[in-house]
Amino acid sequence: MRQTVFITGASSGIGRSTALHFLERGWNVAATMRSPEKANDWLRGDRVLALRLDVTDSGSIQAAVDRALAHYGDVNVLVNNAGYGAIGPFEASTPEQVERQIATNVIGLMNVTRALLPHFRERRSGLILNVASVGGRVTFPLYSLYHSTKWAVEGFSEALVYELEPHKIRVKIIEPGPIRTDFYDRSQDVMSKPGLTAYDEFVAKVTPAIRKASANAPGPEIVARTIYRAATDGSHRLRYPVNSASILLLRRFIPTSVFMGTVRKLFRA
């Protein structure tokens, strides 16, 4: 029987590549995004269902889940991919930016998960793949707000393992490092405040290293392949680093002060 994957944030980047990867391997794909009417021709066909879903809109979440289940009869894998990055000095953030970052990257992910849990429990099977980040276990300059959400996703996912194990539902975390997507440009929210210049020198030092990391990064296909492997390897493995294993290994085995000094040198900060 053909399996079905439900993906959030499938309009571009990692989400789009993941949807295509599963399609090419014979899966049904419920590809969700805020504006499916703007989707390209790849969202046409018997095995793909384009659905409107805004993770900050609980009504759209439930409607998309209901439509996917009605259309396919089953969902086997949930890929919580929707998210974006806020960048800049935290002092320059507005309350609205803080709320939107948390609402999208954390609360939205939780709400989509909650919407599918009854189905997974009823069938006593299911897999939740949460796309976190290397920034969920290490930190870099100017990403304090973004890091707070990805660390939350890591903690939420790891704790969820315990309570879902008795229901035969697995939880896994995907941890991409730098990936060449619109994360670094179109989808990024830059935090700045008129008249606040105290951080200008720091930002000027750090920004070139961020741009270099994005320019030299692999494309989103590498993450799509890892997500597919996590969905199909049959294991209970929790974490899947993607282009991030080296820095995570370094963080694990050296003292915090030494690691942070390395980051300072890397970003010339």
Residues marked active site are found at: 146
Nearest to 125 by CA among 87, 156, 165, 86: 165
Question: Do the Cβ atoms of 28 and 2 come closer than 8 Å?
Answer: yes
pLDDT for the residue 269: 57
> Which domains does the chain show, CATH number per domain?
4-266 (3.40.50.720)
pLDDT for the residue 75: 98
pLDDT for the residue 186: 57
pLDDT for the residue 188: 79
Task: Compute the distance between CA of residue 191 and CA of residue 193 in angstroms, rounded to an integer.
Answer: 7
Mean pLDDT by 10 residues, the chain (269 residues): 95 95 96 87 83 97 98 97 96 97 98 98 98 96 97 98 98 95 70 96 92 85 98 98 92 94 85
Ramachandran category for residue 88: left, alpha or beta (phi over 0 → left; psi -120 to 50 → alpha) = left
pLDDT for the residue 215: 80
Residue whose tokens read 């993906």: 7
DSSP, residue by residue, 5-71: EEESSTTSHHHHHHHHHHHHTT-EEEEEES-GGG--GGG-STTEEEEE--TT-HHHHHHHHHHHHHH
Element (H, E) at 27: none
pLDDT for the residue 69: 98
